[in-house]
Homo-oligomer: A and B are copies of this chain.
Amino acid sequence: MLKYQKIAYEIKKYIEDNDLQQGHKLPVLEKLMKQFSASKSTLSNALDLLENKGDIYQVRGSGIFVRRHKRKEYINLLSNQGFKKDLENLKITSKVLELEVRKPTNEVAQSLNIGLQDNVYYVKRIRYINGETLCLEESYYNKSIITYLNKEIVNDSIFNYINEGLGLKVGFSDLYIHVDTLTEKEAEYLGLSEGSPKFYVETIFHLTNGNPFDFSKITYNYKHAHFFVQENLGN
């Protein structure tokens, strides 16, 4: 972690630990520079990062303020592989239904930018929130990047393993969102009736070098699919 990232993390932690509400004014830049023994540019980078993540807003000539939405029990739609972070008091568990190496379909090959003769890890899981079905997840990992997976890993956080176990850096993702109705099979997995609404998200995750490594399809239980997004419209 670079110094500005560490400072951003400390400020975010301070906001959460003290349960500061939206609009709460943070100390002025000079004071923060002193407190973190950091240069103006390092601190500006930290604040810009926090602003981009939706944790603060900066008003020129006025100060730095906490940004924090009021609704609890919403899942962050973005970076939602990091469930735990946003659902600290909600328990997420997984049940692995399938884990195998296979050949990609056309759609998967195209999404992962690989050939039909290449190998992918296919992972099918049901995820639970406080014991109730949250979603059915099917993911396809490019095996030449994600070289190894086993049941224990996919039972837990795959992204933690990718970061820490494989030492890979996740860079960016493209999400495609649809709403539709559940098929009989999907309904069965989620414990809902066929024809119920579904929130369906396909995501292509890329490493920082631009290579796509994970194509995932998630079908959410609409009863628990409450998401928030904190957006910056400036610039």
A residues neighboring B (CB under 8 Å):
5, 22-23, 49, 52-54, 57, 59, 62, 65, 67, 69, 71, 74, 77-79, 169-181, 197-199, 205-206, 208-210, 220, 222, 225-235
Give, as a whole number of angstroms, the nearest-CB distance from A23 to chain B. 6
Task: Report how many copies the assembly holds.
Answer: 2
Q: With A52-B52, A57-B171, A172-B67 given, is the CB distance from A78 to B197 under 8 Å?
A: no
A228 engages B52 (CB within 8 Å): no
CA distance A62 to B211 in the complex (A): 13
Inter-subunit contact B231/A208 (CB<8 Å): no
Give the complex CA separation of A78 and B232 in angstroms. 9
A232 in contact with B175 (CB, 8 Å): no
A79-B231, A173-B231, A174-B69 in contact; A222/B179 too (CB < 8 A)? Answer: yes
CA distance A176 to B69 in the complex (A): 10
Would you call A228 and B197 a contact (CB within 8 A)? no
Q: How far is the CA of A66 from the CA of B1 in the complex (A)?
A: 26
Q: For A173, A177, A179, which residue has the most chain B Cβ atoms within 10 angstroms?
A: A179
Residue of B nearest to A173 (CB): B231
Q: Smallest CB–CB gap between A156 and chain B, Å?
A: 19
Chain B residues in 8 Å Cβ range of A208: 57, 59, 234
A198 in contact with B172 (CB, 8 Å): no
Name the 3 nearest CB pairs between A and B, nearest first. Answer: A197-B197, A179-B222, A175-B229
Q: Contacts A5-B235, A169-B234; is A228 near B177 (CB within 8 Å)?
A: yes
Q: Which residue of B lies closest to A171 (CB)?
A: B234
